[in-house]
Structure 1
Amino acid sequence: MAEILPFKAWRYNQEMDQAIESLTSPLFDVVSAKQREALYQNKFNSIHLSVPLGDDPADHAAHTLQEWKSEGILAHDPLPGIYVYYQYFRLTGSDKEFCRKGFICHIKAYDWHEGVLLRHENTIPSAVNDRIELLEKTLLNTSPTHGLYTDSEFELERYMDEAIQSPLYETEDYQGVRDVLAVIHDHDVIRLFIDKLQDQQVLLADGHHRYEGSLEYRKKRMAQNPGHTGMEAYNYHLMYLTNTEADDLRILPTHRVLQQISLTDEEFLEKLREYFVVTPKEDVYELNEVIVGKNWAFGLYLSGNAYKLRLKPEIHPLIDWPVPQEVKALDLTVMHYFIFEKVLGIDREAQRDYPGLSYVRNFTACVSQVDSGKARLALITNDVSMEQVKRVCHSGAIMPQKSTFFYPKVICGFLFSSIKENEFLTADSACL
């Protein structure tokens, strides 16, 4: 079902390869303002293409790209390939070194209704619009989104393991993660990768905004092209694919932070007690621990005071959103329905782009924002399991926005892929 293709990546030239670590950058939706300012100081850093500066950032990126191509800053790889990408990392509290294994390729940008590529969470509209404009002006994928395929026999790993022994790049990124990139050129091996994916659905793990940007651009070009065949470059998207069966696939929780609410603390707590058992806690740093492994349990840090929230079980059936049971069972559905909609009066659609609501992965950062007065409250949640992601995807429904944080994030700058017709590689031109 999923059609993938090798591609000829645009990469920094050989002289600049030696400084590749200084040319990489975080993804557009995780890079901080402080990181941006530091990265912008390097005129060749990849952030100038992924998060461009200026009053017309997309035009600025397009100009920069053309300049880098003309001056040879970026070079087009001469041979088509599938790019193997390994990320070695550790998690807090564990001595184990994990390794997430995957590969980067072009994949057709399937519309959601086609049932080939399945999403699991909502997007924020303003972020999608930004990605559409950037893609339209540059015709460049500056970073891969993250998709999941299933291979219980781990058939592709042997070829990836072999390729990674001869890396193109090996760096340490801003997350403290060791990133290694290699490439497979062998046509027979590439065919194995294509065949493995052709009967599969792909779950979109990370990069919903960038994927929707590609999808909307494809729709626009299809409408403009009466001779549309489905093989044009605008039909494709850059994706990093990893195996759902791998033990080193990690999903971290994403907490919610609100700058302001219209209720007093006492009013807010009183309304919460209609739905939750509210238990005060002496130490805010206990909140992570007291909710672990418990369904529908959250930590609340409100104006400097800590509480454990646990939904009253008999209340759960009151959720009347038109979603399957797989979605109703999620912690974040409980949070967004009972706390955001019922207690705070923010309806489901308004939550998607609600001003003053931010999504923060780091627990300590949540506490700091409340302590500093930048935020009124933080809601701490558990992580989502891979099995829950699968169940939701296959149900055809979606989770609340920012439900998952697949860790680590891929980085930008190792390679770029073009969807300009004269730079794009079809199956025929790749001799596949």
Structure 2
Amino acid sequence: MNNEGPAANGGLHLIPFRGLRYVPERVGSLAAVTSPPYDVVVRPDGLHHLESADPHNIVRLILPQAASPADRHRQAAETLTRWLSDGVLAADPEPALYVYEQRKGDLLQRGVIGALALSEPSDGIVLPHEDVMPEVVADRAALMRTTAANLEPLLLTYRSGGELSGTSAVIERTILGPPVIATTTEDGFSHRLWSVTDAGELSRIRDDLSHRQALIADGHHRWATYLRLRAEHTGSPGPWDYGLVLLIDTARYPLQVRAIHRLLRRLPIADALSALDGSFRVRGLDVSLEQAIGTLAEAAAEGNAFLLAGDGRFHLVDRPDPELLSGTVPRGRPEAWRTLDATVLHATLLDHIWRVPDTPDHITYIHDTRAAVTQAERDGGTAVLMHPVPEEVVRELAREGVTMPRKSTSFGPKPATGLVLRSLALD
């Protein structure tokens, strides 16, 4: 690794690394060893499905199963070491940046994977937009510390003027050649990966990104983990000063922004609904999930709105009492933050009306809408379905240094985990 510090003008500093990749001959298929990011896997169903897809599926590293956290992290490290020793994973011969493409139907996304120099939010280089849960950061840090590896990239976005130059021009030239990885996962997405090692092309990417600012689209907990581990490794610059990321120019490849839903595991929906009497308008909807989501979108255009599920039907919750909001939503924040659905959900509904603690025992965050509904009906809880926040609102709040309630947004498509890993021991 080139251990020079961040670019002098304070922009993004992305450097090549020797990627760890699966050896195709040693696994059933590349698709069978990949996984969604660790926090998107719907456990336990999705975890068991992925584990059974191939004995070398990446979930055995990102979500190891053992009796205690220490055992889980140690097991992941031992598994990684064994797979390297057995030739299941191998390091590329020279450092590279990686052009990554995802495609499904009309949806096309391309970006660059590399090791990014870490920076603090106050530097204004990489902007977080959500709060994090300390216990999740602690767990991810322990896993990363024990394995000495970045097992999956964060998803960062930046915006160029949309012109075909700099990084985007390198990407378009690179995809004309043969990829080092090409596979299609069971969700219908095709994935292709190219290695960029040419000094001239690497220089063009470096110069183009040196004045860019990025937004964390997905991976706030992993970014906080990077910063924590960097603080533990003080002294001369080294591999812990960088973290694995995928950078997407959303001026050329706009991301989809979806909501992240809440499963209130210990709150029966009958209790949730009765507690809302007089505080919100509640309407029952005997319609399909798709129709209910459409009704939610219409209501959300007028103000705060949520869908509750868990009893076989949907309940639209909207038109909150203005005095209730005034007395429960914290002041001293921008109006765009105070009117967010996630803000009202946490400050007014969870904290004040339902009194549900924001802990894993009480709240599960689920990206898939149908999965949230199914689990609520199966477990006797309440699913709170959210409407997504527009990307421009997210970016503007981040620029103002204002973080949204955690798990407020889900940008996608997310990179598949398992296509390329970064070993800090190699760097």
TM-score range, shorter chain: 0.7 to 0.9
1:385 matched to which residue of 2? 390
Asked if structure 2 preserves the Cα contact closer than 8 Å seen for 1:145 and 1:238, the reply is: yes
1:308 matched to which residue of 2? 316
Deviation at 1:305, TM superposition (A): 4.8
1:260 matched to which residue of 2? 266
In structure 2, relative to structure 1, the CA distance for the partners of 1:303 and 1:122 (3 Å cut) is same
1:130 matched to which residue of 2? 139
In structure 2, relative to structure 1, the CA distance for the partners of 1:101 and 1:252 (3 Å cut) is same
Q: Does 1:337 align with 2:347?
A: yes
2:45 matched to which residue of 1? 34
Asked if structure 2 preserves the Cα contact closer than 8 Å seen for 1:88 and 1:179, the reply is: yes
**1:10 match: secondary structure:** strand
1:428 matched to which residue of 2? none
Which of 151, 160, 165 is the matching residue for 2:171? 160
Which of 247, 257, 264 is the matching residue for 1:241? 247
Matched residues in 1 for 2:288 and 2:317: separation?
13
In structure 2, relative to structure 1, the CA distance for the partners of 1:238 and 1:131 (3 Å cut) is same
In the alignment, structure 2 segments of 5+ residues that lack a partner are: 1-9
Deviation at 1:302, TM superposition (A): 5.5
1:408 matched to which residue of 2? 413
Superposed counterparts of 1:344-355, under 5 Å: 344-346=354-356, 350-351=357-358, 353-355=359-361
**1:272 match: secondary structure:** coil
Asked if structure 2 preserves the Cα contact closer than 8 Å seen for 1:287 and 1:380, the reply is: no
1:427 matched to which residue of 2? none
Asked if structure 2 preserves the Cα contact closer than 8 Å seen for 1:278 and 1:310, the reply is: yes
Deviation at 1:140, TM superposition (A): 0.8
1:396 matched to which residue of 2? 401
Q: Which amino acid is the alignment partner of residue 353 of structure 2?
A: V
Superposed counterparts of 1:281-292, under 5 Å: 281-283=285-287, 285=289, 286-292=291-297
1:361 matched to which residue of 2? 367
Superposed counterparts of 1:31-430, under 5 Å: 31-32=41-42, 33-41=44-52, 42-55=54-67, 56-90=71-105, 97-154=106-163, 155=165, 156-165=167-176, 166-222=178-234, 228-229=235-236, 231-246=237-252, 248-261=254-267, 265=271, 268-269=272-273, 271-283=275-287, 285=289, 286-293=291-298, 294=301, 295-301=303-309, 303-312=311-320, 314-315=322-323, 316-318=325-327, 319-346=329-356, 350-351=357-358, 353-372=359-378, 374-420=379-425, 423-424=426-427
List per-residue Cα deviations over 1:357-386 (Å, max 9, x = no partner).
1222333333323433x1332222211111
Matched residues in 2 for 1:46 and 1:221: separation?
27
Matched residues in 1 for 2:423 and 2:140: separation?
15
Matched residues in 2 for 1:175 and 1:368: separation?
19
Q: Give the structure-2-normalised TM-score.
A: 0.87
Deviation at 1:303, TM superposition (A): 3.7
Deviation at 1:17, TM superposition (A): 7.5
Give the fraction of aligned pairs with identical amino acids, expressed as a percent. 27
**2:129 match: secondary structure:** coil
Asked if structure 2 preserves the Cα contact closer than 8 Å seen for 1:175 and 1:408, the reply is: no
Q: Which amino acid is the alignment partner of residue 102 of structure 1?
A: G
Q: Indicate the larger mover: 3-12 or 59-68.
A: 59-68
Asked if structure 2 preserves the Cα contact closer than 8 Å seen for 1:300 and 1:306, the reply is: yes
Deviation at 1:50, TM superposition (A): 2.0
Asked if structure 1 preserves the Cα contact closer than 8 Å seen for 2:281 and 2:318, the reply is: yes
Asked if structure 2 preserves the Cα contact closer than 8 Å seen for 1:258 and 1:375, the reply is: no
Deviation at 1:304, TM superposition (A): 4.2
Q: Which amino acid is the alignment partner of residue 333 of structure 1?
A: T
List per-residue Cα deviations over 1:193-231 (Å, max 9, x = no partner).
112222222211111122222211111122xxxxx13x2
Q: Which amino acid is the alignment partner of residue 162 of structure 1?
A: R
Deviation at 1:413, TM superposition (A): 1.5
Asked if structure 2 preserves the Cα contact closer than 8 Å seen for 1:84 and 1:102, the reply is: yes
**1:307 match: secondary structure:** strand
Q: Which amino acid is the alignment partner of residue 195 of structure 1?
A: D
In structure 2, relative to structure 1, the CA distance for the partners of 1:11 and 1:280 (3 Å cut) is closer
Asked if structure 2 preserves the Cα contact closer than 8 Å seen for 1:10 and 1:416, the reply is: yes
Deviation at 1:262, TM superposition (A): 8.1
Q: Give the structure-1-normalised TM-score.
A: 0.86
